[in-house]
């Protein structure tokens, strides 16, 4: 049975971003986004719907939702100090419009600003998957598609790039570091004495699961090499342009993890028509990069260490590699 502390959601590492926990944050997505934000430590959150009700003249695409008469001026609404994008919303046009309004107005969408503020307010985005596999025969739009829309609208309107304070979730290195931290905590609770040398990351999406695992593997190798050369404990370092500076993970006395092996399964987004190849070099790599804008495409990063049929085979492979079978 899996306990809650063993489950990492795309937004879980937001617990580490304490510098935003006391700020007024606009949260976007669907489901209990307000509750999720509060559980992660954010004390003052505003939802898209609350913002829309406070400023009813902002949401004008759907004619049936436009106010029938001019509403009174909004008073007392807090200034928004940052944006958290949890996942794809239901009404994209509403969220796209209101998030852009907040960024262009420096958190005061009811005010008129002569100049567009830049850099804009901090944006924290979770879950970058462009596509995901549901019951349909073809993949469905994910939050990465929504982010793509937001980035392009902002650039088209302002002529400038939308910048992220943090990109959280696969394939961001911050997520894999957070996973390593929790795995070590679980090992300590189980009373394991032997240091953890290898991690195994199982996924069905080469552009997120495998890319992220391989990116983290490169980070581990680089960190371990520097540790050996310096003869001292490794320190956090940026493996990409993302959020390493914000991490406040406790450094264990024995930072022993040396590698992260990527295992691709064929039961989701990735479908291999032929038999599963025994040699991963035989596996055709996608040539169109589905990853996020801020992650440079490297063909080697979407090639898995191992390709198996399903998760059970992946677990058995890890057991075999660790001599547990």
At residue 259, the pLDDT reads 95
- For residues 146 and 12, state if they share a domain: yes
- Cα–Cα nearest to 104, from 91, 118, 94: 118
**Assigned token pair, 4:** 């809650």
Task: Tell whether 71 is covered by a domain.
Answer: no
What is the Cα–Cα distance from 118 to 102, expressed in whole angstroms? 12
Give the pLDDT confidence score for residue 273 in this predicted structure: 52
Q: Which has the closest alpha carbon to 95: 46, 132, 130, 146? A: 146
In a domain, 305, yes or no: yes
Count of domains observed in the chain:
2
Strand partners, 263: 202, 306
Query: What per-residue confidence (pLDDT) applies to 5?
Result: 63
Give the CA diameter of the chain: 72
Do 308 and 217 lie in a common domain? yes
**Based on the domain organization, do 25 and 89 belong to the same domain?**
yes
Asked whether residue 208 falls in the same domain as residue 106, the answer is no
Phi (first) and psi of residue 84, to 5 degrees: -115, 125
Residue 45 shares a structural domain with residue 107: yes
Range of the domain at 292: 194-229+253-274+285-322
- For residue 200, the cross-strand partners are 261
- Residue 294 in domain: yes
pLDDT of residue 316: 96
Whole-number pLDDT of residue 217:
96
pLDDT of amino acid 287: 63
Residues 155 and 198 in one domain: no
Q: Say yes or no: 207 and 312 in one domain.
A: yes
What confidence score (pLDDT) does residue 1 get?
59
My answer on whether 17 and 82 are in the same domain is yes
**Residue 242 domain-assigned?**
no
Using DSSP's 3-state secondary structure scheme, residue 25 falls into: strand
pLDDT of 272 reads 63
- Give the ranges where the chain is alpha helix by DSSP (H): 33-39, 48-54, 92-104, 143-158, 173-189, 211-230, 311-321
Positions of the chain with pLDDT lower than 70, given as ranges: 1-6, 231-255, 271-287, 325
Compute φ and ψ for 264, nearest 5 degrees. Answer: -95, 125
């Amino acid at each position: 049975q899996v306990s809650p502390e063993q489950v990492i959601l795309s937004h879980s590492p937001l617990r580490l971003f304490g510098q935003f926990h006391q700020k007024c944050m606009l949260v976007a997505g669907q489901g209990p986004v307000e509750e999720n934000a509060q559980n992660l430590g954010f004390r003052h959150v505003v939802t898209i719907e609350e913002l829309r009700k406070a400023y009813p003249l902002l949401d004008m695409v759907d004619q049936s939702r436009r106010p029938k008469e001019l509403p009174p001026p909004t008073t007392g609404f807090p200034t928004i100090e940052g944006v958290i994008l949890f996942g794809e919303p239901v009404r994209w046009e509403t969220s796209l419009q209101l998030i852009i309004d907040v960024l262009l107005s420096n958190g005061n969408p009811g005010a008129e600003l002569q100049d567009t503020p830049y850099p804009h307010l901090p944006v924290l985005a979770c879950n970058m998957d462009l596509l995901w596999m549901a019951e349909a025969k073809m993949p469905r739009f994910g939050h990465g598609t929504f982010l793509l829309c937001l980035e392009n609208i902002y650039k088209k309107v302002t002529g400038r790039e939308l910048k992220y304070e943090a990109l959280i979730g696969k394939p961001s290195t911050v997520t894999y570091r957070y996973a390593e931290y929790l795995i070590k905590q679980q090992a300590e609770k189980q009373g394991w004495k032997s240091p953890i040398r290898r991690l195994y990351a199982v996924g069905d999406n080469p552009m997120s699961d495998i890319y992220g695992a391989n990116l983290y593997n490169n980070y581990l190798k680089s960190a371990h090499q520097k540790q050996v050369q310096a003869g001292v404990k490794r320190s956090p370092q940026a493996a990409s342009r993302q959020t390493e500076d914000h991490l406040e993970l406790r450094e264990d006395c024995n930072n022993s993890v040396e590698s992260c092996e990527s295992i691709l399964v064929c039961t989701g987004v990735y479908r291999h028509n032929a038999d599963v190849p025994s040699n991963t070099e035989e596996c055709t790599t996608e040539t169109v990069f589905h990853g996020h804008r801020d992650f440079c495409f490297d063909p080697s990063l979407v090639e898995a260490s191992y390709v198996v049929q399903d998760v059970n085979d992946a677990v058995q492979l890890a057991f075999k590699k660790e001599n547990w079978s």
